[in-house]
Structure 1
């Protein structure tokens, strides 16, 4: 079992700017979010905390590890956020007008983010002997990784709030999504299918 956790808030999050690989640190709100979220992971299930190398993810992981008295593991390049190229630092509201077709120069393809995410899950699991691990990463990364596992359109997944946690488990020879931002996947699946049906009707 792995919990994919979105990092705490940064100033660019608060301002609505796209971060991607730009290494923006946590702000004080983000640090408080991480401290407040730690209790949700207490109880002895989780064995260690790992993260993306970006500072906002690493500091979130360190806060969680300290609060839970868990070992802090390594950083994994596979957990890095999607590269957004020329859109990094741009306000989210401007993206559609500047790149209507979303063909942003320098952007990492979504399918590659999903493949990278699956490689990361495999590597973390292997490095930790299959033990339950908290993995702090990024919103778009989590979205595409979950969609790669479930086979659903990533656009139909909900938005991931800071410190939201989504659980995946390796079972029956494959990764399975168990929860999405704290909601059971069976419940989320209904919404994913409804959104897919809406797209088909609109096509």
Structure 2
């Protein structure tokens, strides 16, 4: 029996901890590996993932997302999708918000033009294309990626507005679910981290 669009359920998995995520540095296209703790976080996803049957598994091409997917037990099923790349932060790559605000007091990634990187509208277009791919495929889908692109996916899914992602905090190795309540696209789970309590 074919899936209806409302049967589409998208699971979002943020990659495990890296040195830069731990420090608060903006990590876009720099291919930073997981820390040892990040690998433990990714392994903690495995029991939850093992109880699911995913029809499609997509991962960012960056190693921190791919390794998280592998350690969670879905590496063999995963396909890379360039729309899952993290936001290209341009000149802000590797910098912390607190340091940037020493020279730009009200700076925010959500509202400031990004020189040599991607605008919020550009990332929103990638998110919209990825969501359309998921809706066309239907079923239960797992996405392994990064903090900001996943926040924008959640925002666009629920509000059709990427900037709403500013209000959706997301921890490393967290789990989120996007689905439906009747005909409405909703966030059914956000920033679940209970699986990380004992590592």
Bin of the TM-score, shorter chain as denominator length: 0.7 to 0.9
| Partner secondary structure for residue 45 of structure 2 | helix
Matched, 1:118 2:136: no
Specify which of 101, 117, 139 is matched with residue 107 of structure 1: 117
**Which of the numbers 35, 56, 75 marks the counterpart of 1:27?**
35
More helix by share: 1
In 1, distance between residues paired with 2:131 and 2:60? Answer: 12
Map of 2:80 onto structure 1: 75
Q: What does residue 194 of structure 1 align with? A: none
Give the CA deviation at 1:30. Answer: 0.8
Runs of 4+ with deviation above 3 angstroms? 98-101, 170-176
Q: What's 2:167 paired with?
A: 156
Q: Is this contact kept in 2: 1:114–1:144, CA < 8 A?
A: yes
Secondary structure of the residue aligned to 1:9 is coil
Shift of 1:47: 4.1
Aligned length: 177
| 1:87, distance to aligned residue in structure 2 (A) | 0.7
Distance of 1:109 and 1:22 partners within structure 2: 18
Q: Distance in 2 between matches of 1:12 and 1:150?
A: 29
Q: Is the 8 A contact 1:115 1:145 kept in 2?
A: no
Residue 39 of structure 1, CA deviation: 1.5
Deviation of 1:42 after TM superposition, in Å, equals 2.9
| Residues 111 and 170 (structure 1), Cα distance of their counterparts in 2 relative to 1, 3 Å cut | farther
- TM-score where L is the length of structure 1: 0.76
CA distance in structure 1 between the aligned counterparts of 2:189 and 2:38, rounded to whole angstroms: 23
Mapped contact 2:50–2:73 kept (Cα < 8 A):
no
Determine the structure 2 residue equivalent to 1:86.
91
**CA positional deviation for 1:107:** 3.4
Gaps of at least 5 residues in structure 1 are 184-203
Could you give the per-residue CA deviations for residues 63-112 of structure 1, whole angstroms, max 9, x where no partner exists? 1125xxx7422100111111100111112321223344433322312232
Distance 1:125 1:28 in 2: 35
Deviation at 1:166, TM superposition (A): 1.4
The answer as to whether partners of 2:18 and 2:33 remain within 8 angstroms in 1 is yes
Residue 58 (structure 2) aligns with: 50
Q: Counterparts in 2 of 1:138-153, with a 5 A limit?
A: 138-151=146-159, 153=164
Distance in 2 between the 1:80 and 1:173 partners? 29
What is the RMSD of the two structures over their aligned residues, measured on CA atoms? 2.4
Q: Paired residue for 2:142, among 128, 134, 144? A: 134
